[in-house]
Amino acid sequence: MLQYRTTGYNGYACKYSPFYDNKLAVATAANYGLVGNGKLVILSIQDNGMVVQDTEFETQDGLFDVAWSEIHENQVLTCAGDGSISLFDISLQRFPIQRYQEHTREVFSVYWNMVDKGIFCSSSWDGTIKVWSPNRQQSMLTLVSSTDSSPSVDGPFVPLSTKQTGKHPTDCMYQATFSPHSPSQLVSVSSSSHCHVWDIRAPQPLQIDFIAHNGMEVLSCDYNKYRPTVIATASVDKSIKVWDLRMIPNVQHHVLGTANKTGPSPVNRFIGHDFAVRKVSWSPHYSDTLLSCSYDMTCRVWKDQTDNSARFMNNRLWHGRSLLKTFDKHREFAIGCDWSLWGSGFAASVGWDEMCYIWKAV
């Protein structure tokens, strides 16, 4: 296990570089993200096992997420509590090379498209998801769920920001993630417990809309890297659910009574965290393994036995053993985690204890 302390700043997210096997970007916020500055920290893992800081960038507001560019090895995206998104070049000093400002509330996630590498997306507490090109100041399109659309809005696609239209959706969009299999598909989750699947090239982008966690807020989502139709969601109900999108019925939720809004059944469910699950991430190396972190101060590694191709390991069947490992070194909320793209089985995690840990997950 390796560690680094971001003194005075609480960790919110971490992300391994897709270009360098030893670089890690960490997004932090002072005062637990409630008030004050933020800081982007770029770390390097040395051959001698030490973790050192390469550079840092201070921001005017706390940072909630981070994403590496898929087209430039030195560029990193961050999103902040003031509704801004910043693009930094880690070979330069102090200031971002580009800044995007359309969201009207906190931006809680940014994600770079791994297939169409010229675009990225962001999700915000203002209830919108925006798709951007790094070369443009304005977003390419804005997505709003049908549950948030007012009668004057035609469908789930809104070409203007909420600041321009004056309409303020009530849902908080906690995370939006592009599919690693399709250049135009993304999944998002919200405070209304809805999970949305979008196709940004379709005339009506909203393809699937279902209630994922029985009305409880859904905080995180991720696509399986090997199974195109499989996603995972994590919620304040302390559970992680695995979904096969081919098995989601087309239900019109607005015609159902409140008591019936329980949503479809997942193909698998993981229960073990003691508090809300803050982040979930599928492994880039194994189709049946996922990582989660929680407000219970632990990170956990799970085995999804619904993956038929991965049920056998070392020529033996895993009988009901879903929880593979628990990492409990954090002394405050564990907020962010990520798998190493290079060292098979390694993971990083950050939390409100100002610590970044790098550890062997599987």
Domain boundaries defined on the chain? 127-237+239-272
- The DSSP H or E segment spanning 268 is strand 268-271
Contact indicator for 85, 98 with CB cutoff of 8 Å: no
Contact indicator for 361, 291 with CB cutoff of 8 Å: yes
How many beta carbons lie within 10 A of that of residue 163, not counting itself?
Answer: 15
Q: Which two tokens stand for residue 341?
A: 């793209």
Taking residues 47-59, what's their average pLDDT?
94
Between the alpha carbon of residue 86 and those of residues 133, 150, 170, 254, 300, the distances in Å are 13, 30, 25, 37, 31
Taking residues 331-347, what's their average pLDDT?
93
Taking residues 216-227, what's their average pLDDT?
97
Say what percent of the chain tops pLDDT 70.
86
Taking 50 as the threshold, does the pLDDT of residue 272 lie above it? Answer: yes
- pLDDT-derived band of residue 237, with 50, 70 and 90 as boundaries? very high
How many beta carbons lie within 10 A of that of residue 70, not counting itself?
Answer: 18
CA 148 – CA 173 distance, rounded (Å) = 11
Contact indicator for 78, 69 with CB cutoff of 8 Å: no
Indicate the SS3 state at residue 31.
helix
Residue type, 2: L
CA 76 – CA 98 distance, rounded (Å) = 11
Residue type, 299: C
Residue position matching structure tokens 């959706």: 169
Between the alpha carbon of residue 202 and those of residues 150, 182, 233, the distances in Å are 21, 13, 24
Contact indicator for 27, 61 with CB cutoff of 8 Å: no
Indicate the SS3 state at residue 253.
helix
Contact indicator for 361, 345 with CB cutoff of 8 Å: yes
Contact indicator for 30, 10 with CB cutoff of 8 Å: yes
CA 336 – CA 349 distance, rounded (Å) = 6
The 10s digit of each residue's pLDDT in 78-133 is 999 999 999 999 999 889 999 999 999 999 999 999 999 999 999 999 999 999 99
The 10s digit of each residue's pLDDT in 274-284 is 999 999 999 99
Estimate to the nearest angstrom the gap between the alpha carbon of 47 and the chain centroid.
Answer: 29
Contact indicator for 107, 79 with CB cutoff of 8 Å: yes
In the 8-state DSSP scheme, what is residue 162? H
CATH architecture classification, 127-237+239-272 = 7 Propeller (2.130)
CA 30 – CA 350 distance, rounded (Å) = 14
The 10s digit of each residue's pLDDT in 128-185 is 999 999 999 999 999 997 654 433 233 333 333 333 334 445 689 999 999 999 999 9
- Contacts of residue 288, defined as CB under 8 A and 6 or more positions apart, other chains included, come to 303, 304, 305, 307, 310, 311
Say what percent of the chain tops pLDDT 90.
80
- pLDDT-derived band of residue 315, with 50, 70 and 90 as boundaries? very low
Taking 70 as the threshold, does the pLDDT of residue 318 lie above it? Answer: no
Residue 255: phi and psi, rounded to 5, are -95, -5
CA 132 – CA 112 distance, rounded (Å) = 9
- The DSSP H or E segment spanning 164 is helix 162-165
Taking residues 57-61, what's their average pLDDT?
96
Return the pLDDT at 170: 67
To the nearest 10°, the Cα dihedral for 161, 235, 333, 121?
A: -30
